[in-house]
Amino acid sequence: MEKQVLIYDTTLRDGTQAEGVSVSVEDKLRIAEKLADFGVHYIEGGWPGSNPKDMTFFKEVKKLNLKNTKITAFGSTRRSSLKVEEDPQIQDLIKAETPVITIFGKSWDLHVTQALKTTLEKNLEMIYDSISYLKKYVDEVIFDAEHFFDGFKENPDYAIEVLKVAQQGGADFLILCDTNGGSLPTDIEKAFKAVKEAGITAKLGIHAHNDSDTAVWNSIVAVLHGAIQVHGTINGIGERCGNANLCSIIPNLSLKLGYETVPRENIKRLKEISNFVSDILNMPVPKNMPYVGDSAFAHKGGVHASAVLRNPRSYEHILPQEVGNRRKVLVSDLAGKSNIIYKAKEIGIEIDEKDERLTKLVQEIKELENQGYHFEAAEASLELLIRKHLGTLPKYFDLDAYRVLIARRYTDKSPISEATVRIKIENHYEHTASLGYGPVNALDKALKKALTAVYPSLAEVELIDYKVRIVNESGGTAAKIRVLIESRDKSKKWGTVGVSDNIIEASWQAVVDSIVYKLVKDGIKPAGGNKDA
Ligand X SMILES: CC(=O)SCCNC(=O)CCNC(=O)[C@H](O)C(C)(C)COP(=O)(O)OP(=O)(O)OC[C@H]1O[C@@H](n2cnc3c(N)ncnc32)[C@H](O)[C@@H]1OP(=O)(O)O
With CA atoms as reference, report the closest residue to 112 among 163, 72, 147, 157: 147
- With CB under 6 A as the contact rule, the residue among 77, 98, 219, 514 that binds ligand X is 77
The CA-CA-CA angle for residues 32, 287, 38, to 5°, reads: 25
User: For ligand X, which is the closer residue by CB, 15 or 439?
Assistant: 15
Least separation in angstroms between residue 113's CB and ligand X is: 11
Q: Three-class SS string for 422-449?
A: EEEECCEEEEEEEEECCHHHHHHHHHHH
DSSP code string of 468-488:
EEES-GGGGGG--EEEEEEEE
Residue 233 three-state SS: strand
Q: Does 105 bind ligand X (CB under 6 A)?
A: yes
User: For ligand X, which is the closer residue by CB, 176 or 446?
Assistant: 176
With CA atoms as reference, report the closest residue to 393 among 250, 510, 525: 525
- With CB under 6 A as the contact rule, the residue among 30, 59, 79, 449 that binds ligand X is 79
- Residue 524 to residue 260: CA distance in whole angstroms: 49
Cα 310 → chain centroid: 29
User: For ligand CC(=O)C(=O)O, which is the closer residue by CB, 104 or 173?
Assistant: 104
| String marking each residue 36-75 x if it binds ligand X according to CB under 6 A | -----------x-xx-------------------------
Which partner from the list ligand X, ligand CC(=O)C(=O)O, none does 207 bind, CB cut-off 5 to 8 Å by kind?
ligand CC(=O)C(=O)O
Task: Please work out the total of residues on this chain that contact ligand X, with binding judged by CB under 6 A.
Answer: 16
Q: Does 146 bind ligand X (CB under 6 A)?
A: yes
Q: Does 76 bind ligand X (CB under 6 A)?
A: yes
User: For ligand X, which is the closer residue by CB, 116 or 334?
Assistant: 116
Which residues are near ligand CC(=O)C(=O)O by CB under 6 A?
14, 104, 144, 146, 177, 179, 207, 209
User: For ligand CC(=O)C(=O)O, which is the closer residue by CB, 143 or 291?
Assistant: 143
Q: Does 454 bind ligand X (CB under 6 A)?
A: no
> How far, CA to CA in Å, does 352 sit from each of 219, 342, 355, 388?
48, 11, 5, 16
E strand segments, 114-250: 140-146, 173-178, 203-208, 229-232
Residue 255 three-state SS: helix
With CA atoms as reference, report the closest residue to 181 among 138, 128, 256, 238: 238
- Residue 510 to residue 493: CA distance in whole angstroms: 14
- Residue 248 to residue 290: CA distance in whole angstroms: 7
User: For ligand X, which is the closer residue by CB, 104 or 158?
Assistant: 104
Q: Are 257 and 33 in contact (CB under 8 A)?
A: no
Which partner from the list ligand X, ligand CC(=O)C(=O)O, none does 299 bind, CB cut-off 5 to 8 Å by kind?
none
Closest residue to ligand X, based on beta-carbon distance = 50
Which partner from the list ligand CC(=O)C(=O)O, ligand X, none does 44 bind, CB cut-off 5 to 8 Å by kind?
none
User: For ligand CC(=O)C(=O)O, which is the closer residue by CB, 249 or 516?
Assistant: 249
E strand segments, 453-527: 462-470, 481-488, 493-500
- With CB under 6 A as the contact rule, the residue among 64, 116, 241, 479 that binds ligand X is 116
User: For ligand X, which is the closer residue by CB, 47 or 291?
Assistant: 47
Q: Does 106 bind ligand X (CB under 6 A)?
A: yes
- With CB under 6 A as the contact rule, the residue among 179, 212, 261, 332 that binds ligand X is 179
Q: Does 420 bind ligand X (CB under 6 A)?
A: no
- Residue 188 to residue 217: CA distance in whole angstroms: 10
Q: Which of residues 258-317 bind ligand X (CB under 6 A)?
A: none
E strand segments, 126-185: 140-146, 173-178
User: For ligand X, which is the closer residue by CB, 76 or 235?
Assistant: 76
Q: Which residues pair with 101 in a beta bridge?
A: 73, 141
Q: Does 242 bind ligand X (CB under 6 A)?
A: no
Binding site for ligand X (CB under 6 A): 14, 17, 47, 49-50, 76-77, 79, 104-106, 115-116, 146, 179, 239
